[in-house]
Amino acid sequence: MPVFDNGLIFDIPEVPCMELDKKEKDILETALDKWEADHLLTKEQADELRSTISEKKAGVQIAQYFFVIAIACILLAFGAIFIDDKLLEKIKQYFDIGNIVIAISCTVIAILWFAYMAKKRRSLNTLIFEVYMVLGGLAVVSALVYYCKDIGFGPQYSGLLAAVAVVILGLATFFRSKALWFAGILSVMGFYGSFTESQQGTNNLFLGMNYPMRFAVFGLVVIGLSFLQDKVKALSFSQRQTYVMGLLIFFTGMWGVSIFGNYGHYSEWEQVRQVQVIGYAGILAVVSVAALLLGIKYQDDITRDFGIIFILLNLYSRYFEFFWNTTNKGIFFLILAVSFGLIGWQIERRLKKDKAA
């Protein structure tokens, strides 16, 4: 199909029909209407492109929702079975099998499953592929759990979590699975928590940090690694997931620090006035506003939304700490409304100014 651009003619290859969600279809059709109105495309070219767009059938979307529900139920069942040691012991006694037999069986199942997925991965849509990856990941975790039952889990289960993290992240990289990458990050996070707990002193601090503080630092490290990850071709597929997880861990940790400070014991925290940890709330406010502004500047909705969410959480937390019993609730929320209205007005004014420039 020929396209004219500043007097030059070049060809666009035939575009296969795309099935999109209703929202995606509306956005793309709006873009085509705009390009046609600006004479970037002729009417014939725009119509030809519109003919390649179709909306996903409701049945397909409903089927995908059921797959999501199914995998959620599988995860809940998996967790319930492993938590209920009595059920596992009854199964082992009934079949008269040892831990190593179960571990080897799960290993064989996992190997066969991932070998099958290596052949079928190109014929599956993204959602179904990720669901199957999670199922294979459960087989891997089951095998590692039963290996560790005989050789040991390590202090605070740190050995098991380290093994899970290494294997799951390796599989995620090989299969380019975002679901397994997400699970791998959670495993690393679990290992970090268990390892630091096993190494902390009698004051419940690790390198001078309590739990919220050490996870805020961990979140910063994950965010930093996400930028490096984008430069590694084999890992770039999941850069966004790493970045979002880093933001979530960092901001949640900082919110915890804004409430509990850096005290290692609950009894110790109870004896201090909340104003003594107000500095941490100020730091959370600064980084939240910075995330909001950076998200707007670089058109990054996730970063912007994290900034907004934790600005609100910070304000609400401080209200409940300092003003819940002394301030009229209506006045407080009226002040909040005016403040956010002014922020929104300033942002809108800045965006209009940038657009005009």
- Per-domain residue ranges of the chain: 4-50, 83-199
Residue 8: predicted pLDDT: 42
More confident residue, 333 or 10: 333
- pTM value? 0.72
Residue 288: predicted pLDDT: 94
Angle (CA) 73-77-82 rounded to 5° is: 150
CA distance 41 to 34: 9
- What is the H or E stretch that residue 30 is in? helix 22-37
- For the chain, the C-alpha Rg in angstroms (whole number) is 26
Which tens digit of pLDDT belongs to each residue from 201-213? 778 888 889 899 9
Residue in 273, 281, 265, 349 with CA at minimum distance from that of residue 314: 281
* Percent share of the chain, pLDDT over 70: 77
* Percent share of the chain, pLDDT over 90: 31
Work out the pLDDT band at 146, boundaries 50, 70, 90: confident
Work out the pLDDT band at 1, boundaries 50, 70, 90: very low
Which tens digit of pLDDT belongs to each residue from 81-111? 665 556 666 767 777 678 888 889 889 999 9
CA distance 260 to 193: 18
Work out the pLDDT band at 10, boundaries 50, 70, 90: very low
